[in-house]
Amino acid sequence: MTKEKELVFGHKNPDTDAVVAAISYSHLQNELGFNTEAVALGEPNEETKYVFDKFDYKYPRIVTAANGEVKSVMLVDHNESQQSLDDIGDLQVTHVVDHHRIANFETTSPLYYRAQPVGCTSTILWEMYNEEDVEVPGNLAALMASAIISDTLLLKSPTTTDEDKAALKSLSKTAGIDYESYGLDMLKAGTNLDSKSTKELIDMDAKSFEMNGKNVRIAQVNTVDIDETLKREAEFTADIKSENKSEGYNLFVLLITNILTSDTTGLVLGDENAVSVFENALNTKVEDNKASLPGVVSRKKQVVPPLNEKF
Amino acid sequence: MTKEKELVFGHKNPDTDAVVAAISYSHLQNELGFNTEAVALGEPNEETKYVFDKFDYKYPRIVTAANGEVKSVMLVDHNESQQSLDDIGDLQVTHVVDHHRIANFETTSPLYYRAQPVGCTSTILWEMYNEEDVEVPGNLAALMASAIISDTLLLKSPTTTDEDKAALKSLSKTAGIDYESYGLDMLKAGTNLDSKSTKELIDMDAKSFEMNGKNVRIAQVNTVDIDETLKREAEFTADIKSENKSEGYNLFVLLITNILTSDTTGLVLGDENAVSVFENALNTKVEDNKASLPGVVSRKKQVVPPLNEKF
C-alpha cells in the first residue's frame, strides 16, 4: 500500500537550510516508507543558487499554496504559520523538524515534532540519518554541509553547538569538501548584493513575527562591507517605510551583517513605541534610523528573544 | 559546574503517565548531567496510588506554581499552558517530551521538543533511554510499564502503536511483571469510584481546551459497569452545571468509559450551540444530556480532534 503523498518544505523567503532541509528530510522519509516531495516556498537567494550550481543539484519545484494537491505536510526549519504555505491552516501537519522557537503553531491531532536548540536544521537531520542508519548521498551531504555553513556563518555564530561542528565535519568528509575554504567562497557568493534592488534585499531573507499583537518584520542581509551596503541607505529607508505602510508592520528591522567581523548595523523603522522597545530590548540607540549592534549575527538567538520579551 | 536546577512535571489532574513520565525524564536528564527534580501538579488518582503503593515508590512533591523557585522547566505529557503550572508564562520551557497535539504553547527561544504520535509519553522515554544507553532501574521500569498500560488501556486503545507494545514488553521484562494480569488488576483499581464524590470524579482526569474561543472541558472516568456509575447521574449533572457556570465552560463532556468493552457514554452539558457541535463532531445524539459513544475510549484521538475541527 502506497502512503498518501505529502509535501515537505521550509519557510518562505527560503535560505539554504530551508531548501536543503526539505530535500534531505524528504529523502530520509522516502527511505523510511513515506511518499513525499520536497518543495520550496520561493526562489533561491544568491548563496543558495551558488550552492545548487556548484553541486549540480536541481532546485525543488516552487509552490506558495498546496491548493488541494495534498492533505498533509511536513515542515522543516520553521513552524510559525505566517512563515509557511498560504493555506497551511487547511492542511494537517504530520511532522516538524526545526531549530526555532515555537509560536503561532497549533494542531488538532498528535504529531511527530522534533526540535533541538542547535544552529541548523540540517544538523538535526544528520543525526536522524545516523539514528535510522540511512546513508547520506555524497551530493546531498555537500548541500547539508552548505546549510550548516550558512546558518552558523562557518561555525562562528553564537547559535553554533558541538553537534553542528560534528555534523559539518562528518558531512564535509562524506562530500569530499574542505569546508573552511569552500565555506568562505560560499558565504561571499551570498553577499553579492549588487544585482539586487533594495526592495528585493529587504524581502530576501525576511521573516514576520507576531509579538504581543504587534507585527514585526526582521530582514537580514550578509555583506563583507557594511558601509558599502549603506551607500543605498536612502533607498532602503524609502522601501521599508512604504512596506511598513502597505503591510501594516509596526516595526521593520533590516540587519546588515558583516560576516567577516560578526558585527551588525540595524536599519530600524516603525511606530515610535516599537522603535523604543527595540532600543530597550537590544540595549542600543537608534539614530538616523540606524543602530549599531556589535557582535550580533543571529536573528533567532540575539534579536527575536529580547524583542519578544520586551513587547 | 552544576547546572541550574529545573523542575520536570506532567499536566494538572495528573494520571499515571503524567507523574511517571516526570520521574523517568528527570532521572534520565540527571544521568545526562542536568539538575532536575520531578514534581506533580496534583494528588495521585486511585490508579496511580495503587501503582506507587504496589512498587513502593515515593510520590513526588506536589506544586501548583514555581513561585520563583526555578527559572526554567521541562514539560512531559502536555504542552498546553492551561494544563500546566499556574505561572508557566513566567518560566522558560527548555524541554518538552509529549504525545499530544500542540496548542496554546509558545516560547521566545529555541528549545528541545520531542513529540511522537504514540500511545504514551513513557514509550517515548523508553526509546530515549535506549538511544542514550541509560539503564532503566527495575522499579522505575514497573512504573513506566504501568503508565503504558494506563494510557493504552492494556494496548486496546486505538492510540496504541507498535512502539507502545515493544516498550511495554521490554519494560515488563525489566520489571519482572506479567503485564496482562497485573494490568487488569491495576486498571480495575482505577475504576474504584465509590470513595469519590461526583465533584471529585468530574475533576479527577479533566482537561481544559480552548477551541476557537470556546472553553471546552473534557473529563474521563474509567469503570467496569457504566450503569452502575450512572446511578449518580443526577449528582454528576448538577455538579457539571454548577462548574460550567462558575468556570465559564461553554461545553463540559464527562466520558464514562467501560475499560472491559471499550465503550463510552458521554454526559454532555453546555451552551445549546456547543452541544450541537458535539453531536455533529461525534456523529451522535445527546438525549437527556447523554450520548452513546460505542468504541470510543481515547479523548485525545477520538474526541478532541473531531470537536476541534467542528468548532
Q: Which residue of B has its CA nearest to A106?
A: B103
Close Cβ partners of A94 (under 8 Å, ≥ 6 residues apart): A6, A72, A73, A74, A111, A112
Residue B281 to residue B216: CA distance in whole angstroms: 14
Q: What is the total count of domains within chain B? A: 2
Q: Is A229 in the same domain as A127?
A: no
Give the model's pLDDT for residue A227: 93
Q: Is B213 in the same domain as B278?
A: yes
Task: List C-alpha distances in Å: B163 to A33, B171, B180, B241.
Answer: 17, 12, 17, 40
Give the model's pLDDT for residue B195: 83
Chain A, residues 131-190, CB within 8 A of chain B, namely: 131
pLDDT in tens, A294-305: 999 999 899 999
Q: How many CB atoms lie within 10 A of CB B153?
A: 21
Which among A108, A110, A308 is the nearest to B308, CB-wise? A108
Pick the closest to residue B268 from B260, A218, B277 (CA basis). Answer: B277
Q: Which residue of B has its CA nearest to A127?
A: B131
Place of cell 543558487: A49
Chain A positions in Cβ-Cβ contact with residue B131 (cut-off 8 Å): 131
If pLDDT is split at 50, 70 and 90, which confidence band does A287 have? very high
The domain boundary, picked from A153, A188, A223, lies at A188
Q: Average pLDDT, stretch B220-226?
A: 92
Task: State how far residue A23 is from chain B, nearest Cα, in angstroms.
Answer: 21
Q: Mutation target for A interface from B108, B112, B123: give the one with most A CBs within 10 A.
A: B108
Q: Is B220 in the same domain as B108?
A: no
Q: Is B206 in the same domain as B177?
A: no
Three-state DSSP string of chain A: CCCCCEEEECCCCCCHHHHHHHHHHHHHHHHCCCCEEEEECCCCCHHHHHHHHHCCCCCCEECCCCCCCCCEEEEECCCCHHHCCCCHHHCEEEEEEECCCCCCCCCCCCCEEEECCCCCHHHHHHHHHHHHCCCCCHHHHHHHHHHHHHHHCCCCCCCCCHHHHHHHHHHHHHHCCCHHHHHHHHHHHHCCCCCCCHHHHHHHCEEEEEECCEEEEEEEEEECCHHHHHHHHHHHHHHHHHHHHHHCCCEEEEEEEECCCCEEEEEEEECHHHHHHHHHHHCCCCECCEEEECCCCCHHHHHHHHHHHHC
Maximum distance among all alpha carbons in chain A? 63
The answer as to whether A193 is a domain residue is no
Give the model's pLDDT for residue A194: 83
Q: Is A79 in the same domain as A152?
A: yes
Q: Is B147 in the same domain as B10?
A: yes
Place of cell 513575527: A209
3-state secondary structure of B268: strand
Give the model's pLDDT for residue A142: 98
The answer as to whether A55 is a domain residue is yes
Contact A117 B115 (CB under 8 A): no
Q: Average pLDDT, stretch A239-256?
A: 97
Contact A114 B109 (CB under 8 A): no
Q: Is the pLDDT of residue B204 over 90?
A: no
If pLDDT is split at 50, 70 and 90, which confidence band does B80 have? very high
Q: Average pLDDT, stretch B245-260?
A: 95
Chain B positions in Cβ-Cβ contact with residue A308 (cut-off 8 Å): 108
Q: Is the pLDDT of residue B26 over 60?
A: yes
Query: What whole-number percentage of chain B has pLDDT above 70?
Result: 100
Task: State how far residue A108 is from chain B, nearest Cα, in angstroms.
Answer: 5
Q: Is the pLDDT of residue A101 over 70?
A: yes
Pick the closest to residue B144 from B162, B170, B180 (CA basis). Answer: B170
Q: Mutation target for A interface from B106, B131, B152, B210: give the one with most A CBs within 10 A.
A: B106
Q: Average pLDDT, stretch A301-310?
A: 94
The verdict on A260 touching B (C-beta cutoff 8 Å) is no
Maximum distance among all alpha carbons in chain B? 63
Contact A300 B110 (CB under 8 A): yes
Give the model's pLDDT for residue B242: 97
Q: Is the pLDDT of residue A195 over 90?
A: no
Q: Which residue of A has its CA nearest to B121?
A: A110
The domain boundary, picked from B160, B188, B216, lies at B188
Residue A293 to residue A296: CA distance in whole angstroms: 6
Q: Is the pLDDT of residue B1 over 70?
A: no
Three-state DSSP string of B170-182: HHHHHHCCCHHHH
Chain B positions in Cβ-Cβ contact with residue A101 (cut-off 8 Å): 106-111
Give the model's pLDDT for residue A42: 97
The verdict on A309 touching B (C-beta cutoff 8 Å) is yes
Residue A306 to residue A251: CA distance in whole angstroms: 14
Q: DSSP secondary-structure letter at B82?
A: G
Task: List C-alpha distances in Å: A178 to A184, B30, B41, B75, B289.
Answer: 10, 38, 52, 41, 70
DSSP letter string, B102-157? --S---SS--EEEE--SS-HHHHHHHHHHHHT-PPPHHHHHHHHHHHHHHHTTTTS
The answer as to whether B219 is a domain residue is yes
Q: Average pLDDT, stretch B50-67?
A: 97
Q: Which residue of B has its CA nearest to A111?
A: B117
Q: Is A34 in the same domain as A182?
A: yes
Q: DSSP secondary-structure letter at B1?
A: -
Q: Is B26 in the same domain as B100?
A: yes
Q: Is the pLDDT of residue A1 over 70?
A: no
β pairing state of A251-258 and A214-223: parallel
Q: Average pLDDT, stretch B82-100?
A: 96
Query: What whole-number percentage of chain B has pLDDT above 90?
Result: 92
Contact A110 B99 (CB under 8 A): yes
Residue B74 to residue B39: CA distance in whole angstroms: 11
Residue A153 to residue A8: CA distance in whole angstroms: 25
Distance between the two ends of chain B, CA-based, in angstroms? 50
Place of cell 532521572: B27
The answer as to whether B246 is a domain residue is yes
Contact B110 A131 (CB under 8 A): no
Task: State how far residue B57 is from chain A, nearest Cα, in angstroms.
Answer: 30
Average pLDDT, chain A: 95
Q: Which domain holds residue B170?
A: 6-188
Q: Is B29 in the same domain as B159?
A: yes
Q: Which residue of A has its CA nearest to B106?
A: A103
Which among A106, A113, A114 is the nearest to B103, CB-wise? A106
Which has the higher per-residue pLDDT, A119 or B190?
A: A119
Q: Is A279 exposed, middle or buried (0-12, 13-18, 19+ CB in 10 A)?
A: middle
The verdict on B54 touching A (C-beta cutoff 8 Å) is no
Q: Is B13 in the same domain as B41?
A: yes
The verdict on B32 touching A (C-beta cutoff 8 Å) is no
Pick the closest to residue A250 from A305, A211, A201 (CA basis). Answer: A211
The answer as to whether B211 is a domain residue is yes
pLDDT in tens, B277-303: 999 999 999 999 999 999 999 998 999
Considering only CA atoms, give the Rg of chain A: 19
The answer as to whether A1 is a domain residue is no
| Residue burial B92-116, b: 16+ Cβ < 10 Å; e: rest | ebbbbbbbbbbbebbbbbbbbbbbb
Give the model's pLDDT for residue A191: 87
Contact A107 B103 (CB under 8 A): yes
Chain A, residues 93-122, CB within 8 A of chain B, namely: 99-117
Q: Which residue of A has its CA nearest to B113?
A: A115
Q: Phi and psi for A195 in degrees, rounded to 5? A: -80, -5
Domain containing A52 — which CATH number?
Answer: 3.90.1640.10
How large is the ipTM?
0.87
Domain containing B230 — which CATH number?
Answer: 3.10.310.20
Q: Is the pLDDT of residue A4 over 70?
A: yes
The domain boundary, picked from B145, B163, B188, lies at B188
Chain B positions in Cβ-Cβ contact with residue A116 (cut-off 8 Å): 110, 112
If pLDDT is split at 50, 70 and 90, which confidence band does A209 have? very high
Contact A111 B101 (CB under 8 A): yes
Which has the higher per-residue pLDDT, B204 or B161?
A: B161
Contact B115 A111 (CB under 8 A): yes
Chain A to chain B, count of Cβ pairs less than 8 Å apart? 77
Q: Is A203 exposed, middle or buried (0-12, 13-18, 19+ CB in 10 A)?
A: middle
pLDDT in tens, A161-181: 999 999 999 999 999 999 999
Q: Is the pLDDT of residue B255 over 80?
A: yes
Q: Are the C-beta atoms of A278 and A307 separated by less than 8 Å? A: yes
Close Cβ partners of A288 (under 8 Å, ≥ 6 residues apart): none
Contact A109 B117 (CB under 8 A): yes
Q: Strand pairing partners for B6?
A: B36, B72
Please give the model's pTM, rounded to 2 decimal places: 0.89
Contact A114 B113 (CB under 8 A): yes
Which has the higher per-residue pLDDT, B259 or A268?
A: A268
Cell, residue A189? 557568493
Contact A107 B102 (CB under 8 A): yes
Q: Are the C-beta atoms of A83 and A207 separated by less than 8 Å? A: yes
The answer as to whether B1 is a domain residue is no
Task: State how far residue A145 is from chain B, nearest Cα, in angstroms.
Answer: 21
Q: Is B58 in the same domain as B160?
A: yes
The answer as to whether A85 is a domain residue is yes
Which among A100, A110, A131 is the nearest to B300, CB-wise? A110
Q: Average pLDDT, stretch A88-97?
A: 97
Chain B positions in Cβ-Cβ contact with residue A113 (cut-off 8 Å): 102, 113-115
Q: Is A167 in the same domain as A275?
A: no
